[in-house]
Amino acid sequence: MTSLPWAKSHPSGVREIDATNECLEFLLERQFLQGLPCESTGRHCPKIEDLTRFLARKFEREEILMERVGFPGLLHHRSEHAKLLARVDLLRNNLVCGMYDSQRVFSVVTTWAVRHLREFDDPFGRYLAQQVEPRPEAGKASWRLEI
């Protein structure tokens, strides 16, 4: 399975989300497409556990940002995050480390991420753009929220 770049080719317009999407894409490719052997054969896969920790942190930061700007779609967005974390947890619990097709994990998360970006992150980017006053000298919206 070859990977098609999705993070850079479809930015949401939210710098923090776009940066972590690029990190997610990199992590998925390195951990689940490079044929890296698992070191914990027969137990929970540390690669899936690392992915879960990364996703939980990414989602927490996104949700804090959405909360700070009063994004009306936050609850639905948060629900989508929880669904993916539950799905990845099922994979972690059901797949035996070293004995599963790592492309399956890659495919599940990448398919979810591409859909999520278009259906959930894009609307947040548009909402955020409407909340920002453009800088006259730059000609485009500028914002930065520390989270």
| Residue indicated by tokens 């894009």 | 122
The residue range of the domain holding 50 is 15-130
What is the CATH classification number for the domain harbouring 35? 1.20.120
Q: Please give the pLDDT value at position 147.
A: 46
What number of CA atoms fall less than 13 Å from residue 142's CA on the CB side? 7
In a domain, 105, yes or no: yes
Instruction: Identify the CA nearest to 142 among candidates 1, 13, 10.
Output: 13
Q: Please give the pLDDT value at position 129.
A: 86
Higher pLDDT, 12 or 55: 55
Q: Are 74 and 66 a contacting pair, CB within 8 Å?
A: yes
pLDDT in tens, 78-93: 999 999 999 999 999 9
How many Å apart are CA 47 and CA 64, to the nearest integer?
26
Q: Please give the pLDDT value at position 72.
A: 95
In a domain, 102, yes or no: yes
Higher pLDDT, 133 or 34: 34
- Number of helices (H) and strands (E), helices first, in the chain? 5, 0
> Does residue 132 carry a pLDDT above 80?
no
- Side chain identity at residue 143, one-letter code: W
User: In the predicted model, what is the mean pLDDT of residues 114-124?
Assistant: 94
Q: Please give the pLDDT value at position 41.
A: 67
> Does residue 145 carry a pLDDT above 70?
no
Q: How many domains does the chain have?
A: 1
What number of CA atoms fall less than 13 Å from residue 84's CA on the CB side? 26
Q: Please give the pLDDT value at position 140.
A: 53
